[in-house]
């Protein structure tokens, strides 16, 4: 049994715990975790210590250890609402949502005025698709703490998922007040949504490739209103976007900027343009491949369909493990002479083809794709893309390519704008896990639909 601490020893423990917590708050997780572990040797049943260590381990991606430390903290203080809620956060990160809901609900049962508990419960309910309940809990969290900016942003996402696009995008503007949202350093003013005829507007990326691919569609509206549109984007997108007739100029990040009058985040365009969302449902494709194709996909006489596959998220992306699907599931589709399968996979997972001995079954096009213009030329030659949630799925859907998107049980909100069928992408169809990690059910549905698609191709050929 550890020796009780007295006097200076207790003071020293408290000081070391404060230093470890400071390292934790500063983002030095390895240092914080090491310090917490050393302190555990002295105080193995200290609730705050187990709680802090659990939070640090969750942020470091060590989820099962995080859950266990939170259980130990709760064992020491079972009636502490914050400890229940932190255990719920760890369980949510581990995709154990029903358990997480139970602990968050317990936290607000203990304290009906615990705003953080309502906020965390709302996140889990939203993940489970219980959107009405989630909106209610976000509202309660904001009533208890009106200055909770993060709660307002997460409420906006729930509203968007529920189909309330106008109020959802308006509320989503609150993200600009979060510290992680980049603030543009331009001397020109931000566009406020007013008349813009005769002005030159710079659109800039805010949250990554996906949001450029999704929201650049609204540059057409700015062009219709008489603006000259300049797009600032990632280098991988420059050639693709330079091919658009509603964009007057494209600048890659790091290049000198041309003169412009006002600027706007592409993510803000739905709100600033006061879009008639009903009119945009079923809108025509807005991205296209360059006329000069450097990628040529082959054909085989017996193959009725040319399909592209993409199975793995880039390492380091949020929730990449949940979004990525096992290559073996895709490989099983290749044993069909009526299908000609092309891999568009990029990055380190390209080696899966060779490791699985699939070189003669899956044709690796991804190794020849170095930007999104080249990806678009490959997509334009496919009958179908089957992809996880990745930028290439957004590109294909924006081009009007038939796209089947394979989603985890907790899907990214961008695929659910206005409902479960991504109505702004008429050519896209979503296949969602019935539960965490249940890819077998997803691919069973894909195989059924592939059979129907082959029958349609056969009928069209007759």
Q: Does domain 200-275 have CATH number 1.10.287?
A: no
Residues found in the chain:
462
- Domain coordinates in residue numbering, the chain: 7-177, 200-275, 305-461
- pTM value is 0.90
Tokens standing for residue 260? 């412009």
Point out which residues pair with 263 in neighbouring strands: 190, 202
Residues 112-135: pLDDT tens digits? Answer: 999 999 999 999 999 998 999 999
Distance separating alpha carbons of residues 233 and 244, to the nearest angstrom: 14
CATH architecture of 305-461: 3-Layer(aba) Sandwich (3.40)
* Backbone angle region of 184, left / alpha / beta, with phi > 0 → left and psi within -120 to 50 → alpha: beta
Task: Give the model's pLDDT for residue 303.
Answer: 85
Task: Give the model's pLDDT for residue 6.
Answer: 42
Task: Give the model's pLDDT for residue 410.
Answer: 84
Q: Across residues 245-255, what is the average pLDDT? A: 96
Residues 391-418: pLDDT tens digits? Answer: 999 999 999 999 999 999 888 888 877 6
pLDDT surpasses 70 at 5: no
Residues 299-318: pLDDT tens digits? Answer: 888 888 999 999 999 876 65
Is 305-461 the same fold as 7-177? no
Q: DSSP string covering 246-279, please?
A: T-SEEEETTSPP---SEEEEGGGHHHHTT--HHH
Helices (H), 111-175: 115-127, 131-144, 149-161, 165-172
Q: Across residues 430-453, what is the average pLDDT? A: 93
Point out which residues pair with 252 in neighbouring strands: 233
Q: Does domain 7-177 have CATH number 1.25.40.10?
A: yes
Residue with tokens 């896209």, as numbered in its chain: 428
Q: For the chain, what percent of residues have pLDDT higher than 90?
A: 76
């Amino acid at each position: 049994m550890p020796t009780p601490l007295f006097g200076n020893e207790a003071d020293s423990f408290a000081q070391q715990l404060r230093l470890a917590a400071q390292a934790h708050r500063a983002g030095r997780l390895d240092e914080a975790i090491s310090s917490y572990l050393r302190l555990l040797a002295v105080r193995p049943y200290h609730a705050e210590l187990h709680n802090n260590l659990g939070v640090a381990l969750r942020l470091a991606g060590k989820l099962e250890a995080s859950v266990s430390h939170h259980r130990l903290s709760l064992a020491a203080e079972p009636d502490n609402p914050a400890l229940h809620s932190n255990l719920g956060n760890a369980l949510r990160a581990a995709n154990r949502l029903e358990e997480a809901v139970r602990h968050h609900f317990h936290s607000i049962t203990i304290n009906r005025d615990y705003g953080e508990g309502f906020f965390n419960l709302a996140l889990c309910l939203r993940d489970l698709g219980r959107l009405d309940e989630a909106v209610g809990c976000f509202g309660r969290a904001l009533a208890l703490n009106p200055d909770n900016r993060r709660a307002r942003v997460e409420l906006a996402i729930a509203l968007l998922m529920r189909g309330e696009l106008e109020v959802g995008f308006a509320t989503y503007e609150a993200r600009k007040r979060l510290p992680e949202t980049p603030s543009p350093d331009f001397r020109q003013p931000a566009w406020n949504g007013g008349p813009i005829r005769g002005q030159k507007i710079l659109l800039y990326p805010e949250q990554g490739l996906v949001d450029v691919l999704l929201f650049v569609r609204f540059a057409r509206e700015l062009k219709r209103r008489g603006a000259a549109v300049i797009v600032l984007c990632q280098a991988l997108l420059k050639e693709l976007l330079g091919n658009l007739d509603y964009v007057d100029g494209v600048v890659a990040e790091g290049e000198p900027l041309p003169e412009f009058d006002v600027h706007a985040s592409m993510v803000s365009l739905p709100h600033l343009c006061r879009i008639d969302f009903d009119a945009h449902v079923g809108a025509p494709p807005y991205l296209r491949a360059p006329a000069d194709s450097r990628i040529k996909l082959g054909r085989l006489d017996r193959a009725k369909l040319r399909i592209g596959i993409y199975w793995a998220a880039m390492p380091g992306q949020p929730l990449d493990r949940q979004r990525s699907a096992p290559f073996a599931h895709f490989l099983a589709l290749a044993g069909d002479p009526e299908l000609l399968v092309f891999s568009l996979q990029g990055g380190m997972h390209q080696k899966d083809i060779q490791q699985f001995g699939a070189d003669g079954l899956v044709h690796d096009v991804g190794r020849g794709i170095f930007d999104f213009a080249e990806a678009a030329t490959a997509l334009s030659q496919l009958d179908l893309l089957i992809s996880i949630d990745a930028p290439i799925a957004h590109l294909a859907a924006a081009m009007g390519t038939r796209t089947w998107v394979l989603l985890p049980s907790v899907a990214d909100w961008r695929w659910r704008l206005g409902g479960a069928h991504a109505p702004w992408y008429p050519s896209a169809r979503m296949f969602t896990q019935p539960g965490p990690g249940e890819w077998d059910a997803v691919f069973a549905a894909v195989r059924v639909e592939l059979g129907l698609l082959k029958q349609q191709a056969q009928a069209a050929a007759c």
